[in-house]
């Protein structure tokens, strides 16, 4: 798969979001992650691959085992995605508030 993965596409899937939640507090092996899902193991592996390709997850070799953990930098990027939108409205409403505080009705 040489498609460039979009991080937002990656989190559009409920299983992938569940994986991210699962890994929020600990790093886990693929097997341990898969044991939390009804889904077939190859399907979970595919999800892990996608999450790794778009850098939401990082792999770490621990002896013979590979552990997956979250990449906090990339996670923050998602958390921030509505940030500009929120800022735009906050700026506008701050403006509105200050204008109206000084508003003098014209007689």
DSSP 8-state assignment for residue 27: -
In the complex, minimum distance from the CB of residue 13 to other proteins, in angstroms, rounded to a whole number: 10
Q: State in angstroms the smallest separation of the CB of 78 from other proteins.
A: 10
CB 10 within 8 A of CB 51: yes
Binding site for other proteins (CB under 8 A): 8, 11-12, 14, 17, 81-82, 84-97, 99-101, 103
Task: Report the number of secondary-structure helices (H) and strands (E) in the chain.
Answer: 6, 3
In the bound complex, what is the minimum distance in angstroms from residue 73's beta carbon to other proteins?
A: 18
Q: Which is nearer to other proteins, 24 or 88 (CB)?
A: 88
Distance (Å, whole) CA 37 – CA 76? 25
């Amino acid at each position: 798969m040489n498609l460039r993965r979009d991080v937002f596409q990656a989190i559009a899937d409920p299983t992938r979001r569940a994986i991210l939640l699962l890994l929020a507090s600990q790093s886990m092996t693929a097997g341990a992650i898969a044991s939390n899902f009804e889904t077939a193991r190859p399907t979970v592996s595919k999800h892990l691959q996608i999450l790794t390709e778009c850098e939401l997850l990082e792999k770490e070799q621990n002896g013979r085992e590979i552990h997956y953990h979250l990449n906090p930098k990339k996670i923050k990027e998602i958390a921030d995605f509505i940030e500009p939108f929120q800022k735009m409205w906050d700026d506008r409403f701050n403006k509105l508030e200050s204008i109206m505080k000084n508003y003098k009705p014209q007689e």
